[in-house]
A = this chain, B = another copy of it.
């Protein structure tokens, strides 16, 4: 099961990080850019950049998260780059999370599941469960068949995430209702480390709720956005983990992709990205040790 592969990779690297390939064309240095920035050329440039980042981090990070929105901007050329990036990361031994937040019903959800769980190099994808179990069941069936997994949105990292997610629903918050459903959906797909193929997206920017969710969903692995650019620090994210330092993987995108812009790092994107991952790892491990977590 891919959830066990993810746990193994995190233990091996001691690095519960996923490198977020939210690669906007504007992030690229001039060396990568084309003189004629058509969608085709832009997509090739982004692919080259992604490969260099992947090569620079593949021995120290366990996983990448590829955010499809940045690729869809460039039409089908962008989608080729998206699929090729996932394949390249997978071929280089990284666990691949496709951040697609897909959601639909019945035969349409099945088509999404075919697109990403069955037909792509992704090991996990993100989904939005506002449509209920009808929209999740096709993914669960394919996860069971393939060993892959999903992360369902539970408590997102953005300021207005609470606009619906924090609403009071007969004594619970809506995100807690969602959390309980996600736990239930995943209860039949638990791997060797005690975590399910059905994970949850839990934003680092709400540490109190994350801590409460960690207790509430003890078989659910968390994909944790919000570190760095969105404002959460290592102590905020430590609450997402169990005492062995498992149970979560923390995403950073801009902090790694744009590290080359910082004075403290190399101006070569790959080199800078590698150092940014190592620094983020130290930051997280230090926070772990402050709260008695041993990875």
Residues of A at under 8 Å CB distance from B? 22, 24, 67, 69-70, 72-73, 75-80, 82-83, 101-109, 111-112, 114-116, 119-120, 128-135, 153, 156-165, 167-170, 174, 177-178, 181
Q: Is the beta-carbon distance between B128 and A130 smaller than 8 angstroms? A: yes
Interface SS majority for chain A: helix
Give every chain B residue within 8 A of A73 (Cβ-Cβ): 111, 114-115, 119
Copies in the complex: 2
The 4 closest A-B pairs by CB, nearest first: A132-B160, A132-B163, A69-B111, A72-B115
Instruction: Report A178 CB to chain B, min CB distance, Å.
Output: 7
Complex CA gap A93/B83 in Å reads: 33
Q: Is the beta-carbon distance between B178 and A164 smaller than 8 angstroms? A: yes
| Chain B residue with Cβ nearest A168 | B170
Give every chain B residue within 8 A of A174 (Cβ-Cβ): 164, 167, 169, 174
Question: Given contacts A24-B111, A101-B103, could you give 14 more A-B pairs where the C-beta distance is less than 8 Å?
Answer: A67-B111, A72-B111, A72-B115, A73-B115, A75-B80, A75-B120, A76-B79, A130-B153, A130-B165, A134-B159, A164-B178, A167-B169, A167-B177, A174-B174
